[in-house]
Structure 1
């Protein structure tokens, strides 16, 4: 069952941070709980959906067309009329909806962690404090995984927005590794400058603004606006 793990190795720090797929695999092997952070937009979309009492089935982009149960609504294109990876499209999602949500980064990390038995939480700026509190309650080492983006050759590209989301979670935790400490410091600087302005100035933020998704950036920047804690249970991310 989720959270049932072999005895953990003695680690130098109780809170660690590593990037991307490789980081997720590394931390899931050692940590009791792993927090996946994909601010623009998977984790923010999941937070909005779960806050509406929906359940989210993470789908890697390669699995976007795989069959899903008949009671599961499949998210469509971002510019489509229905629910999508756009957080703004989920603000009116009916309670009880079961939503299949494809994502190239956040959902891929969820799949990597889910296979290990570690408790999996989805974190972002909106729910950073709530997720940090839930992670502490699990007990044992905590891993934070900012998703990043992918270059055309499938190598990882660091994404500033994910560093800030990971830093917001790390800032609410103690016994941090140097990597987690640095993310927390970056978050503090961005918070002082204004998270909305900083997110809008990132590469991903500028792309979303140019495509007409300013509302998604605004939703993503709403620090601690949510108390939802999305946790993977029976294949779905649901509120704890």
Structure 2
């Protein structure tokens, strides 16, 4: 173990793919947080009685595996946001044609029993990577923060719990570097604040929890005014931001079982 694994702490927090690599092998439970929008989308899908297969971004082998498993492949990315200048028309049209996408608002009428395969560059990719470390993977967001925190405590027992804030990607850099987002900090902080019985949370976990508590009552405002929130609003999908900003409205606990998110309740 190294300092990057935050050893000696029983509640840990890190960012992005490197955070999964650092914490995954040393934590009994790893909670991936991608508030805007993958883990919010998973919460909505599972609350409707569906299941979600997270796919690594742009991995054709994973796509073929999803087809073989009988999952419905959703359109990748945030539609127009990933696709260019025609974003507004494309995004608004999704719901009208009944197309399931990465966007949580496209799944509010998902039929019970639906099995979706969803790819995203952040949350879905991190969940697939976390599973490869051998840890138990949960999908957390603001909507299910307390429920996921309670489940993480139960599943981990006396072993460490890790929280990984997915973050976003800078769109104007060749390597699409990690861009920490305040929405992820708030989501991770909400979960860290709700975790009980941990004797030694790391400084990273404590700071996230303190940040969330300090933002009490202003979470929706802060998420909407974040770079990621304004990006979605400008693209014509403010409903996604509203859905993602609701705190503790869901008791869904998405747990990855054989590569598929199911509700643990």
Aligned residue for 1:137?
154
- In 2, Cα distance between the equivalents of 1:205 and 1:191? 18
Aligned residue for 2:181?
159
Aligned residue for 2:83?
none
Local SS of the residue matching 1:18: strand
Any residues of structure 2 matched to 1:209-224 within 5 Å, and which? 209-224=233-248
Matched, 1:62 2:58: yes
Aligned residue pair count? 231
Q: After superposition, give the CA deviation of every residue in 1:199-226 in whole Å (9 maximum; x if it has no partner).
A: 0100000010011111111100110000
Q: By how many angstroms is 1:149 displaced? A: 1.2
- In 1, Cα distance between the equivalents of 2:160 and 2:115? 31
Aligned residue for 1:91?
108
- In 1, Cα distance between the equivalents of 2:236 and 2:164? 28
Contact in 1 for aligned 2:136/2:255 (Cα 8 Å): yes
Local SS of the residue matching 1:17: strand
Unmatched runs of 5 consecutive residues or more in structure 1: 1-8
- In 2, Cα distance between the equivalents of 1:219 and 1:176? 29
Q: From the superposition, tell whether residues 190 and 11 of structure 1 become closer, same or farther in structure 2 (CA, over 3 Å).
A: same
Aligned residue for 1:119?
136
Q: After superposition, give the CA deviation of every residue in 1:54-85 in whole Å (9 maximum; x if it has no partner).
A: 11010122126822236311112632331111
Superposition RMSD in Å: 1.7
Q: From the superposition, tell whether residues 70 and 142 of structure 1 become closer, same or farther in structure 2 (CA, over 3 Å).
A: closer
Q: Which has the larger radius of gyration?
A: 2
- In 2, Cα distance between the equivalents of 1:38 and 1:167? 12
- In 2, Cα distance between the equivalents of 1:143 and 1:232? 15
- In 1, Cα distance between the equivalents of 2:201 and 2:19? 16
Higher normalized helix content (fraction of residues): 2
Matched, 1:74 2:73: yes
**Which of 169, 184, 189 is the matching residue for 1:150?**
169
Aligned residue for 1:204?
228
| Deviation beyond 6 Å, 4+ runs, structure 1 | none
- In 1, Cα distance between the equivalents of 2:210 and 2:69? 45
Aligned residue for 2:87?
none
Local SS of the residue matching 1:176: coil
Local SS of the residue matching 1:237: strand
Unmatched runs of 5 consecutive residues or more in structure 2: 80-90
